[in-house]
Amino acid sequence: MSRPALDEALLAAANAWLDQDPDEETRAELRALLEAATSGSGDARDAAVADLRDRFDARLQFGTAGLRGSLGAGSNRMNRVLVAQAAAGFADYLRNRSPRPSIVIGYDVRKNSEIFARDTAEIMAGAGVRAILLPRMLPTPVLAFAVRHLGVDAGVMVTASHNPAKDNGYKVYLGGADGGSQIVSPADRDIAAFIAKVAAERSVATLPRSTDYTVADESVVDEYVSLTASILEAPVSPIRFVYTPMHGVGWDVARRVFEAAGVNAPILVEEQLEPDPTFPTVEFPNPEEPGALDLAFAKAIESGAELILANDPDADRLAVAIVDDHGAWRRLSGNEIGTLLGLGIAERYRREGKTGTFASSIVSSPALAAIARDFGFGFAETLTGFKWISRVPDLIYGYEEALGYLVDPWKVSDKDGISAAVAALEGALLLKSEGRTIDSYDREFAERFGHFASDQVSVRVTDLADIPRTMERLRSNPPRRIGSIAVERVDDLSQGFGDLPPSDVLRFWLEGGARVIVRPSGTEPKVKVYIDAHSTTGSADERRDAARGVVAELSRSVHALIAG
């Protein structure tokens, strides 16, 4: 086996990085690697060279999700050099669009989030962009709200959402004609080109900086709290619910919203209440992950609660768990929450005489389309991501299966886990006032619309090149069957499909109406597979069992499908 080579280009890249890095922690990290690579021997030397190559042979790519990656030194990591280059490039992009551009910047609890945010504010101000920094660490929905509320041209949120603790990220929004939504193509490519130019031609150490930026006052948060609390119109009666912010920044704002809405104080998962960038009680700070809600379940059982609400660390997602009619606790899937919220919103808006469009991503359950048709609302299907859902004209409700919900699009153009929590509480309170439960409401839905079952399977890869190889193989030689179920047709979205722009997605339609969707993850080394089935035959329980049976068979067959 050949040993990894330490060539002059790699050494030059690492030393150039050292020369401009303002962070002593990453400088020390890189100096130690260089020492091991140049003066070490044997396996230790080889490991250091391989590590340097991983850090400098590639660059963390800026895309529609902005930047996201592991913290550390190097162009393929999140650090102050990369963030400074991103801020300077984004500033150039904004100045190219407007003679007097403006931006608002937010940050969460993650390691270096505040540092990256202040670097961004200083570099924006130094470049002549009017910069506003949010007053403290706050949820992503507050930043998304502030873009529209303050009428600025852009927003940056420093967060890695529900990624592992070692990660951080840089999420970008555009105001004006973009309405405060996250960026989409071609803006991502244009911004990336400006960033690449900065990285190639300028040293971070020479970028002009200024402390002439504004720190926003609490009125931004106050207005967000007031508008979010106003969603609740259900009878306000006591309801015992558990809440956890998953070590993130959701609790302070959620607490104020619950109080303003007149909801009783929740039962708190104390171990997860304080913001903590190490997320010590969970392996992954994502309420979808197995075990993430274990402490919440224990608290709910101990306290006799009726409902669990959990935000992810930046509070743009919401997980819900309920006690079923047999007394057992279960976490609702993102599709179940999205469907039940959609039905409640449809019922309310029909009573109020509102019109508009419901929307969900292509990988979300078809159930929302059935609701929209039945109630006479418009419906739109988008690519994955709220950067697309929030742009649907005349939107009144949108969701995607990854625990993302937008129940108040007149306030914010992104998913919002705090306003979704208020909507979930409203639904639970209304049902409670009528002597009904969420579980019984779910059965009523199946009797009316049929049962929609779904699952999502992620297949992790160690070699990123396996992902495009897998997608190409499935395109060029699509399966005739998945499990025992025949494939009737395949939609290849790579060239666009209907009103959908091009995307690396394959959609397999199966005999009996089931579907399987395959796409690469946008943020992790995974191929994601989404499975849906629907049954309208028999009782509600029979419909559930039939649809779940199809989904279970398809789920068992997914790894073989991806492996080829």
pLDDT tens figures, 178-214: 999 999 999 999 999 999 999 999 999 999 999 999 9
- The residues annotated as belonging to the active site are 161
Tokens 């768990």 sit on residue: 321
Mean pLDDT in residue range 29-33:
96
Burial environment of residue 47 by CB neighbours within 10 A (0 to 12, 13 to 18, 19 or more): middle
Global pTM value: 0.94
Residue 505: closest CA among 471, 482, 473, 549:
471
Question: pLDDT tens digits for 533-547?
Answer: 999 999 999 999 999
Length of the chain: 564
Predicted pLDDT at 43: 86
Q: How confident is the model at residue 2 (pLDDT cuts 50, 70, 90)?
A: low
**389-419 residue pLDDT tens:** 999 999 999 999 999 999 999 999 999 999 9
Which residues touch 93 (CB under 8 Å, ≥6 apart)?
190, 191, 194
Task: Tell me the CA distances in angstroms from 393 to 25, 361, 562, one per residue in order.
Answer: 47, 15, 36
DSSP state of 21: -
Q: What distances in angstroms separate CA 432 from CA 238, 359, 544, 558, one per listed residue? A: 10, 28, 24, 40
Confidence of residue 3 (pLDDT cuts 50, 70, 90): low
Task: Please give the structure tokens belonging to residue 459.
Answer: 């297949």
Distance, in Å, from the CA atom of 218 to the CA atom of 215, rounded to the nearest integer, reads: 10
Percent of the chain with pLDDT over 70: 99
pLDDT in tens, 474-513: 999 999 999 999 999 999 999 889 889 999 999 999 999 9
How many C-beta neighbours within 10 Å does residue 39 have?
9
CB contact burial 49-61 (16+ within 10 A = b; e otherwise): bebbbebbeebbe
Is the pLDDT confidence value at 462 over 90? no
Phi, psi of 46 (to 5 degrees): -60, -40
Confidence of residue 523 (pLDDT cuts 50, 70, 90): low
Place of tokens 């171990």: 271
Least confident of 66-80, 255-269, 282-296, 520-534: 520-534
Domains in the chain and their CATH numbers?
Answer: 1-57 (no CATH), 61-215 (3.40.120.10), 223-448 (3.40.120.10), 450-563 (3.30.310.50)
E-state strands within 255-342: 267-268, 307-311, 318-323, 329-331
Is the backbone peptide bond immediately before 266 cis, with ω within 30 degrees of 0? Answer: no
Percentages helix, strand, coil for the chain (3-state, rounded to 5) are: 45, 20, 35
Predicted local confidence at residue 396, as pLDDT = 97
Percentage of residues of the chain with pLDDT beyond 90: 86
CB-count burial class (<10 Å; 0-12, 13-18, 19+) for 309: buried
Q: Are strands 318-323 and 307-311 parallel, antiparallel or unpaired?
A: antiparallel
Residue 236 scores a pLDDT above 80: no
For residue 326, what pLDDT band results from cuts at 50, 70 and 90?
confident
pLDDT value of position 64: 81
**Per-residue model confidence (pLDDT) at position 322:** 94
Backbone angles phi, psi at 366, to 5 degrees: -70, -5
pLDDT at 264: 92
Mean of pLDDT over the chain: 94
Residue 81 has what pLDDT?
98
What six digits make up the tokens of 174?
Answer: 């555009």
- Alpha carbon separation from 454 to 63, 86, 118, 484 (Å, rounded): 29, 38, 42, 18
Instruction: Give the pLDDT confidence of 327-374 residue by residue, as tens digits.
Output: 899 999 999 999 999 999 999 999 999 999 999 999 999 999 999 999
Chain position carrying tokens 């068992």: 556
Q: How confident is the model at residue 148 (pLDDT cuts 50, 70, 90)?
A: very high
* pLDDT band for position 463 (cuts 50, 70, 90): confident
For the residues 5-20, what does the mean pLDDT come to? 90
